[in-house]
Amino acid sequence: MIELVPHIINGLTLGLLFALIALGFTLIVGVMEVINLAHGSLFALGAYFALATIGGEWFGSTDIGVWWLSLPISMRYVLALFIGPLLAAGAGMIIELCLRPTYGKAPLYGLLLTFGAALVIEEIVRLVWGTGEQSLTVPQVINGAFLMGGLIFSKYKFFAAGFALIAIGGVWFFLERTPYGAIIKAGSHDSEMVRALGYDLSKLRLLVFGFGAALAGLAGIILTPIWGLRPHVGLDVVIPAFLIIVIGGVGSFWGAVLAAVLVGLSVGVTGAYLPAWSMMSMYLLLIAVVGFRSRGLLGRKSALEN
Amino acid sequence: MISLSDIPARGGSPFTPAIGLFALLLLTAPFWMESVGLYQYLGIEIAIWILFALGFNLLFGYIGLHSFGHGAYLGIGAYAFGLFQQEVAVSLWGGIAIAIAAAALAGAIVGAFVSHRRGIYFALMTIAFGQVFWFAAIKLHSVTGGEDGLLGIPRPDLALGPWHLDISDNGTLYWFIAVILLLAVIALWRLVNAPFGRVLQAIRQNETRARFVGYNVWLIKWLTFTLSAAFAGLAGGLFAMAQESAYPDVMSLHQSGLIVMMVLVGGGLVSFWGPVLGVLLYFIARDVIGGITETWLLWFGLMFMIMVMVRPEGLAGLFHVLRQRFAQSQPKTIASTTNPGRA
């Protein structure tokens, strides 16, 4: 049993990372009832924007570029943590504008439109940054490894898991404890009433989509140092994200977090025995959970079922 | 928005002008394809994907179940065909029968899990199952050959009673696939214009009402899923023969999404012939735009997005609307007795 401990710790950190990926996805599904298949592409886009920010690609080799690169890496990294998600949010808002004609029609069209958007973003990334594998440099402070109980752990993984915890707490606080969160939740519950109360629903949707996209971009910056960065990383990421949403129950915040931790644990523990099949365990978990509880662990009724 | 049910069904004989035009194009293609700058193999590829797309539309357009993991059944058909040729016997009919049977079996198992669902949950479940098959194909290295897949699958002779025809070159293989496709098109056309096809559309429009009328909705959904998987398996067997290999790439979410795109862009939601238009558009876009720029998928993706935004009924829907406008501008030509038939 004791030899399982590192795998469980690994699984838990992985679960928190999965939760970070799923946060923006669950926000958009819950509020707008759109399955955003471009979520993974926004994730990649955030990471690529951060790459460009850290590497100073925006300025080229001008004076500003030289000055920029002379700044300490940790400063550039922290700035990238803001600029990447912000630009991803911009891309998300463009997608939301394109989504508008599909509101009120079958949810299928939102899914299809975002699938098209995912293709387009992936091709743009290929065009701008090339098809090869890239790596995001992180500051020395959070790089490297440390020993705990005779076992080697990566410092960065713990940083990422801690970051994920903070992000989960932050989003929870925003949704549950601020007036903006109340409006967003009301908008998903009864959009007509929210409109009648004088809130601009289209603006609200634009902002929610932008916020979800920013979370995707943030997850991209935090996760790509672990998983690597390539143009099609989006597809590898969107699949776990929606598996988690379905297992947790569409639109449920804590359901998504719980499901992410479960998926992380199952991948981590299967990895101990059958490493080649570890990713398969999440699909089997999905089929098992949804086979018994059709709305997922903590799901509620949703318009997406029709 | 218009849907399949707004265009009246004809019933009766499948030998309509549309099918005649389709057969004419299909059977004359080898004689003019090269002179318009296309090549023989493209014809084979298009015919196989049309078969796949039409079978898929039974599920997608007619019964309204949006499967996003249908590439898996094409892949299973391809692997079954290849394994049969390599491990059991080099036989065309045996391979094709096994391809259909394997895909139908996989479809029946998955169908049993997903048939009581609808909407987005159905789509998500089919994605999950599609990924399971795709993942298994990559990881079961000893059976499927992993990421490389099965290589060197032979193209067996066509055995018709005492005759043995060699169909190993692209020219003769095209004829074989074209005949199979034509038979499949007639069978599918007959199926969806039979009472069974009307029930499928009733289920799409309102599942609860269809149940109240007395139909066993679960059984019909399951049957359609299995049937659609069987057509995918047939297409997969032919695909393995055309490619002389079977590989996991066709089972990926990306490919499963592409077939949805093709069916939708063509107008599978409003017309029997929609998927055909969609497949043609996709492959022509791939070869024509792909000849100009490497990033043709960017332009195809943009075109697709615009299509979903402004005309989600696809090309066939566009034709239908144009024809209606035309008919409205000449009110004398539409008598109440004329049946415009399915576009």
In A125-174, where do the E strands start and end? 145-148, 151-154
Calculate the dihedral angle through the C-alpha atoms of B176, B182, B183, B188, rounding to the nearest 10 degrees: 140
Q: State mean pLDDT over A258-273.
A: 88
List pLDDT tens digits, range B92-110: 899 999 999 999 999 999 9
In a domain, B2, yes or no: no
Which segment of A155-159, B21-25, B263-267, B334-338 scores lowest on mean pLDDT? B334-338
> What DSSP assignment string belongs to B184-198?
HHHHHHHHHTSHHHH
- Is the pLDDT reported for residue A6 higher than 90? no
List pLDDT tens digits, range B44-96: 999 999 999 999 999 998 998 888 889 999 999 999 999 998 888 888 899 99
User: Which residues of chain B approach chain A closer than 8 Å at the C-beta?
Assistant: 1, 66, 113, 116-121, 123-125, 127-129, 131-132, 135-136, 139, 253-254, 257, 260-261, 264, 295, 297-298, 300-302, 304-305, 308-310, 312
- Is the pLDDT reported for residue B334 higher than 50? no
Phi and psi angles of residue A152, each rounded to the nearest 5 degrees, phi first:
-95, 125
In a domain, B79, yes or no: yes
Q: Compare all CA atoms of chain A with the CA of B303 and give the residue at the minimum distance.
A: A116
Phi and psi angles of residue A136, each rounded to the nearest 5 degrees, phi first:
-95, 125
Q: How far apart are CA B113 and CA B117, in angstroms?
A: 9
What is the 8-class DSSP label of residue B163? E
Q: How far apart are CA A255 and CA A248, in angstroms?
A: 4
C-beta separation of A256 from A65 below 8 A: no
| Candidate from B118, B257, B312 with C-beta closest to A115 | B257
Q: Which residue has the tokens 């047939």?
A: B234
Dmax over CA atoms of chain B, in Å, equals 68
Q: State mean pLDDT over B20-32.
A: 84
Q: How far apart are CA A3 and CA A1, in angstroms?
A: 5
Q: State mean pLDDT over B238-258.
A: 89
CA B202 to the chain's CA centroid: 21
Interface test with B, best of A94, A108, A279 (most B CBs within 10 A): A108
Of A272, A256, A224, A242, which Cα lies nearest the Cα of B125? Answer: A242
What is the distance in angstroms between the Cα of A7 and the nearest Cα belonging to chain B?
22
A268 contact partners, CB below 8 Å, separation of at least 6: A7, A8, A10, A11, A12, A14, A15, A278
Q: How far apart are CA A56 and CA A33, in angstroms?
A: 38
In a domain, B215, yes or no: yes
List pLDDT tens digits, range A221-259: 998 888 888 888 887 788 888 788 888 887 788 888 999
The residue length of chain B stands at 343
Query: Can you give the pLDDT at residue B11?
Result: 59
What is the 8-class DSSP label of residue A227? H
Q: How far apart are CA B155 and CA B136, in angstroms?
A: 26
In a domain, B216, yes or no: yes
The chain-wide mean pLDDT, for chain A, equals 84
pTM of the predicted model as reported, rounded to 2 decimal places: 0.85
What is the distance in angstroms between the Cα of B49 and the nearest Cα belonging to chain A?
20
Q: How far apart are CA B46 and CA B195, in angstroms?
A: 30
Looking at per-residue pLDDT, the higher value among B340 and B163 belongs to B163
Q: State mean pLDDT over B268-293.
A: 86
> What DSSP assignment string belongs to B78-96?
HHHHHHIIIII---HHHHH
In a domain, B230, yes or no: yes
- Is the pLDDT reported for residue B338 higher than 50? no
Query: Can you give the pLDDT at residue B195?
Result: 87
C-beta separation of B71 from B130 below 8 A: yes
Query: Can you give the pLDDT at residue B171?
Result: 83
Q: Calculate what percentage of chain B has a pLDDT beyond 70.
A: 92
Phi and psi angles of residue A6, each rounded to the nearest 5 degrees, phi first:
-60, -35
| Candidate from B119, B135, B305 with C-beta closest to A116 | B305
- ipTM for the predicted complex comes to 0.83
In a domain, B275, yes or no: no
Q: How far apart are CA B250 and CA B248, in angstroms?
A: 6
User: Which residues of chain A approach chain B closer than 8 Å at the C-beta?
Assistant: 35, 37, 98, 101-102, 105, 107-109, 111-113, 115-117, 119-120, 122-124, 126-127, 235, 239, 242-243, 246, 250, 276-277, 279-280, 283-284, 286-287, 290-291, 294, 304-306
Q: What is the CA radius of gyration of chain A?
A: 20
Please, which pLDDT band fits residue B3 given cuts at 50, 70 and 90? Answer: low
Q: How far apart are CA A31 and CA B80, in angstroms?
A: 44
Query: Can you give the pLDDT at residue A304?
Result: 59
Query: Can you give the pLDDT at residue B330?
Result: 62
Which segment of A79-83, A275-279, B3-7 scores lowest on mean pLDDT? B3-7
- Is the pLDDT reported for residue B237 higher than 70? yes
Long-range CB pairs of A69-73 (<8 Å, 24+ gap) are: A73/A137, A73/A139, A73/A140
Q: How far apart are CA B221 and CA B204, in angstroms?
A: 10
The chain-wide mean pLDDT, for chain B, equals 85
Looking at per-residue pLDDT, the higher value among B223 and A278 belongs to B223
Amino acid identity, position A122: E
Structure tokens at B230: 């069987």
The answer to whether the Cβ–Cβ distance between A116 and B304 falls below 8 Å is: yes
Query: Can you give the pLDDT at residue A241?
Result: 85
Query: Can you give the pLDDT at residue B6?
Result: 60
Query: Can you give the pLDDT at residue B335?
Result: 42
Q: Which residue has the tokens 């058909």?
A: B77
C-beta separation of A178 from A185 below 8 A: no
Of B66, B59, B72, B82, which Cα lies nearest the Cα of B132? Answer: B72
Q: Calculate what percentage of chain B has a pLDDT beyond 90.
A: 28
In a domain, B267, yes or no: no
Q: How far apart are CA B52 and CA B167, in angstroms?
A: 21
Dihedral sign (CA B239, B240, B244, B248)? positive
Structure tokens at A241: 């994200």
List pLDDT tens digits, range B132-143: 899 889 888 888
- Is the pLDDT reported for residue A162 higher than 70? yes
C-beta separation of A2 from A192 below 8 A: no
Q: Which residue has the tokens 């409006």?
A: A183
Q: How far apart are CA B320 and CA B325, in angstroms?
A: 9
Q: Which domain holds residue B193?
A: 12-251
- Is the pLDDT reported for residue B161 higher than 80? no
Please, which pLDDT band fits residue B340 given cuts at 50, 70 and 90? Answer: very low
List pLDDT tens digits, range A86-131: 999 999 999 999 988 888 777 778 888 998 899 899 889 988 888 8
The answer to whether the Cβ–Cβ distance between A112 and B129 falls below 8 Å is: no
List pLDDT tens digits, range A27-76: 888 777 788 889 999 999 999 999 888 887 777 677 777 777 777 888 88
The count of domains in chain B is: 1
Q: How far apart are CA A8 and CA A266, in angstroms?
A: 9
- HSE (CB half, 13 Å, CA atoms) of B125? 27
In B229-326, where do the E strands start and end? 245-246
Query: Can you give the pLDDT at residue B337?
Result: 41
Q: How far apart are CA A193 and CA B280, in angstroms?
A: 46
What is the distance in angstroms between the Cα of B21 and the nearest Cα belonging to chain A?
31
In a domain, B290, yes or no: no
List pLDDT tens digits, range A181-223: 888 888 777 778 888 888 888 888 899 899 999 999 999 999 8
C-beta separation of A213 from A95 below 8 A: yes
What is the distance in angstroms between the Cα of B4 and the nearest Cα belonging to chain A?
15
Q: How far apart are CA A164 and CA A171, in angstroms?
A: 10
List pLDDT tens digits, range A282-303: 888 888 887 777 777 877 666 5
List pLDDT tens digits, range A138-160: 787 777 777 776 677 778 888 88
Of B312, B308, B289, which Cα lies nearest the Cα of B299? Answer: B289
Of A136, A167, A154, which Cα lies nearest the Cα of A48? Answer: A136
Angle at A141 between CA A139 and CA A145, to 5 degrees: 110
Of B129, B119, B68, B211, which Cα lies nearest the Cα of A301? Answer: B119
- Is the pLDDT reported for residue B8 higher than 80? no
